Amino acid sequence: MKDSLGGVQTVLVLGGGSEIGLATARRLVADRTRTVILAGRDTEALRSGADELRRLGATRVEVMQFDALNRDSHQSFIDECWSTVGDIDLVLFAFGVLGDQDVAEHDSKEALRIIDSNFTGAVSLLIGSAERLKAQGHGSIVVLSSVAGERSRRSNFVYGASKAGLDAFSQGLGDSLIGTGVHVLIVRPGFVHTKMTEGLDAAPLSTTPEAVAEAIFDGIAKGREIVWVPAALRGVMSGLRHVPRPLFRRLPI
């Protein structure tokens, strides 16, 4: 249950090894969050992040295993999260893969790995989480979407398509949850310096995991439904959305 000032007390981070996910967990713990579940594919790899959160003041940090691609396991995983810590105030969807666009264009296995990790796997976990949050009557879901989903680009349209699907689903889910006490925040970062983008040329208006974490923290506190990081991307993308396709596909983006 959020505390009397509306602060998040318990968070479940799906993608507990994500740099954005961990930065957000640190930001929440620096406020009033005391219980954290870090969930990811490799629980051993989550232990250093868990130790850091304890050092920062979290009183209970659990590490749990899940795989977005293993949809059959999602319901029991969600059930286990709730039975381990009780009510959860915030579920943060921070997992995802960029994938290999060059391979995915020719190999449906790679394309479907990207779509199933970022979209269909997330949908499965979104529905499971939303049902639990609705039953407890309160809570927030934060979904890491991307500017890449706003308009698909030649250079990464498979990832872009996965995020467009995730973003559209999350908008509809948020609308469907009005009046239930459950709130959905969609986060649309541009280029963030994390291991996902390591070795890539930084795009204009590139940002950091900490800046995304701050935007998430602020967005939850203010009950926002969509935030762009940095905020200037909202105007940039609303312009780019209307550029005619013959011109858009020639832009160096």
Q: Which is nearer to ligand NAP, 15 or 174 (CB)?
A: 15
* From 82, 159, 217, 228, active-site residue: 159
3-state secondary structure of 38: strand
> Does 31 help bind ligand NAP (rule: CB under 6 A)?
no
> Does 195 help bind ligand NAP (rule: CB under 6 A)?
yes
> Is 159 a known active-site residue?
yes
Q: How far is CA 49 from CA 39, 93, 114, 121, 211, in A?
A: 11, 17, 25, 24, 18
Q: How far is CA 214 from CA 8, 9, 161, 166, 178, in A?
A: 14, 17, 26, 22, 25
> Does 210 help bind ligand NAP (rule: CB under 6 A)?
no
Q: Are 188 and 229 in contact (CB under 8 A)?
A: yes
> Does 17 help bind ligand NAP (rule: CB under 6 A)?
yes
Site map 128..167 versus ligand NAP, x via CB under 6 A: ----------------x-x---------------------
In the numeric block, which tokens belong to residue 98?
């960029």
Residue number closest to ligand NAP, CB atom: 96
Q: Which is nearer to ligand NAP, 81 or 94 (CB)?
A: 94
Distance CA 186, CA 177 (A): 14
Q: Are 158 and 104 in contact (CB under 8 A)?
A: yes
Q: How far is CA 164 from CA 7, 144, 238, in A?
A: 30, 11, 15
Among 8, 192, 216, 233, binds ligand NAP (CB under 6 A): 192
Q: Are 77 and 64 in contact (CB under 8 A)?
A: yes
Among 10, 19, 24, 164, binds ligand NAP (CB under 6 A): 19
Minimum distance from residue 244 beta carbon to ligand NAP (Å): 25
Residues 44-103 that bind ligand NAP (CB under 6 A): 45, 67-69, 94-97
Distance CA 139, CA 202 (A): 35
Catalytic residues: 159
Binding site for ligand NAP (CB under 6 A): 15, 17-21, 40-42, 45, 67-69, 94-97, 117, 144, 146, 189, 191-192, 194-197
